[in-house]
Structure 1
Amino acid sequence: MTTQWTEQKPEPGRSGQPGVPLLVTRPLEHAEGFGRTVEDRFGSRIAVVQSPLMRTDFPPIDLPKGPHAAVIFTSIIGVAAVASLAHTLPKRAICVGKATAARARVAGFDAVSADGASEEVIGYLVSQNAGGKLLHLRGAVVRGDLAGRLTSQGIPTDEAVVYRQFDLPLSEAAQGVLRQKGPVIVPLFSPRSARLFQAQLPQTISADLHLVVISEAAAMASAGVPARQIHVAARPDGESLLDAVGDLLDLIAPP
């Protein structure tokens, strides 16, 4: 399937003009919350269009035999999946970023943030005393083998799948926005989201696409999207991604 793209010059933002459409592609369980965060921060400058690209299921959890010195969380969803089991798990939690660590603390864990992605989690643990075998609580689809890499570096690590995510199509509202002329902002929180977005694009696009991605890996996965610009967040976390959305908005639709 060939995607046709009509390039348009973005119209400058002016008081009283409709907000720039922003497609919310976060998983179904987090889409509304992220949409509210965007609206609270940018107000009428943004018009939120909901189009979750994934939904999450929580299967029965089969935890490997311990004891474990700590758990590893590489997503907020992983924390949500085991929140009801927190009393049966180690109190110590190593988390991929600040938002995940904050959610883990609410769930009762003594959580620290590695302030990055999987590479930063590995670097943090290599530089620390793990104190025993670790347990990575993850989704069914992940980038790389975190447990295997840690084990190969002398930090024994088990893993357990605690959630699964299933693809969703672009919403009719999102498809309609993509067929209209004018700028559209699309935040993408993972390489998988980037690939799903590319696969779901309508055949004919008239919108002027501006992608804001959470990491270089997500940028690489977005390479086939006919975007005018791809902005990479300064750090791989939600707050930095929102900062990048703000910087982009100032360029394409100044207040």
Structure 2
Amino acid sequence: MVLLFIALPLLCKYRLRPNILGVSAQSYGGLLPYILLTRPCDQARSFAEALTLRGVAVQNIVIDPILKIEAVAAPFDFAPIQGLLITSANAVAHLPADLVGSNLPAYCVGEATTRAAIKRGLTARHMGATAQGLCAAVGHENPTGPLLHLRGAHTTLDIAHHFQGTRINLQNLVTYQQIEQTLKHETYQMLQSAGRVVLPIFSPRSARLLCGLDLDWTGHIAVAISQAVSKPCRMAGFGEVIVSPKPNTVSMLDVTTPLMAAKSG
């Protein structure tokens, strides 16, 4: 009952939709683990809703973001820019007003980010599943520049530096920042006493922040979106580290859902 009380207020007040299976995950039998979502709140809420549609019970989902996304004022002369590189949905959400409806070509990572960019009035194409894949695709196309990478203050790949010394003229523009958050006391209690907890982890920075906490991870499972995310989890001593076959949300759901439907212990 205590953990049920913890889970509900941390769900960022998202509206639960009926799940397509018509039954809760508890109906599969046995005591279930908890799932802790530490993504920024909007993204965590979306992932939680997707889990419930797959039959995971809402009382087994806890949202406690370890990162908060905030806009950064980014004055910039966009007139010369011939194309954009977008590697995250956060960059689309914080698209500078001058670029909304501009129809500029946008080379994107991920299909969901591509769709979001199209809705904001960009001529967007899905060019890769990762930033490295995007760089390879853009390098092959060798587009006319200058190009602009819209990014957060923290990034796994400095794309402007990657193309330095090549024919591709590309600059960085930071439009948002990822601010570290302290986990709630109730979340610490859950991780220390609730038995097995499943943590889907979507970025190397989130992994590093989580793994830097003074916690014993041996009883818990990390679901990593990439090998880069899995490395700090293995070093921190997670009881099990599972790497998603593909670096996208659907693949993360495919890996996480069966863990939530299985008996713990």
TM over 0.5: yes
Match of 2:242 among 231, 237, 244: 231
**2:57 match: secondary structure:** helix
Please tell me whether the aligned partners of residues 95 and 101 of structure 1 are also in contact (alpha carbons under 8 angstroms). Answer: yes
- Structure 1 residue 33: Cα displacement: 2.4
Mark the runs of 5 or more structure 2 residues left unpaired by the alignment.
1-25
**Residues 1:218 and 2:221 are matched in the alignment:** no
- Structure 1 residue 239: Cα displacement: 1.4
**Moved beyond 4 Å, runs of 4+:** none
Match of 2:257 among 231, 237, 246: 246
Structure 2 distance, partners of 1:129, 1:90, is 19
In structure 2, the partner of 1:70 is: 83
Residues 83 and 98 of structure 1: CA distance in aligned 2, closer, same or farther (over 3 Å): farther
- Structure 1 residue 97: Cα displacement: 1.0
**2:69 match: secondary structure:** strand
**1:195 match: secondary structure:** helix
**Residues 1:24 and 2:37 are matched in the alignment:** yes
- Structure 1 residue 45: Cα displacement: 8.6
In structure 1, the partner of 2:220 is: 209
**Residues 1:177 and 2:190 are matched in the alignment:** yes
Structure 2 distance, partners of 1:129, 1:60, is 30
Identity, % of aligned positions: 26
TM-score, normalised relative to structure 2: 0.81
Please tell me whether the aligned partners of residues 110 and 126 of structure 2 are also in contact (alpha carbons under 8 angstroms). Answer: yes
**Residues 1:164 and 2:196 are matched in the alignment:** no
- Structure 1 residue 147: Cα displacement: 1.1
In structure 1, the partner of 2:211 is: 198
Please tell me whether the aligned partners of residues 224 and 242 of structure 2 are also in contact (alpha carbons under 8 angstroms). Answer: yes
**Residues 1:110 and 2:123 are matched in the alignment:** yes
**Residues 1:92 and 2:92 are matched in the alignment:** no
Match of 1:153 among 166, 173, 178: 166
**2:125 match: secondary structure:** strand
**Residues 1:43 and 2:53 are matched in the alignment:** no
Structure 2 distance, partners of 1:160, 1:126, is 19
Residues 153 and 240 of structure 1: CA distance in aligned 2, closer, same or farther (over 3 Å): farther
For 1:208, the aligned partner's letter is: G
For 1:134, the aligned partner's letter is: L
- Structure 1 residue 154: Cα displacement: 1.8
- Structure 1 residue 244: Cα displacement: 1.5
Residues 31 and 23 of structure 1: CA distance in aligned 2, closer, same or farther (over 3 Å): same
Please tell me whether the aligned partners of residues 22 and 48 of structure 1 are also in contact (alpha carbons under 8 angstroms). Answer: yes
In structure 2, the partner of 1:122 is: 135
**1:208 match: secondary structure:** coil
- Structure 1 residue 112: Cα displacement: 1.1
In structure 1, the partner of 2:202 is: 189
Structure 2 distance, partners of 1:92, 1:136, is 12
- Structure 1 residue 181: Cα displacement: 4.8
Mark the runs of 5 or more structure 1 residues left unpaired by the alignment.
1-12
Between 1 and 2, higher relative CO (CA 8 Å, sep ≥ 6) is seen in 1
Aligned residues: 239
**2:235 match: secondary structure:** coil
Residues 65 and 14 of structure 1: CA distance in aligned 2, closer, same or farther (over 3 Å): closer
**1:179 match: secondary structure:** helix
Further displaced range: 34-43 or 131-140: 34-43
Residues 174 and 166 of structure 1: CA distance in aligned 2, closer, same or farther (over 3 Å): same
In structure 1, the partner of 2:155 is: 142
Q: CA RMSD in A?
A: 2.4
Please tell me whether the aligned partners of residues 32 and 260 of structure 2 are also in contact (alpha carbons under 8 angstroms). Answer: no
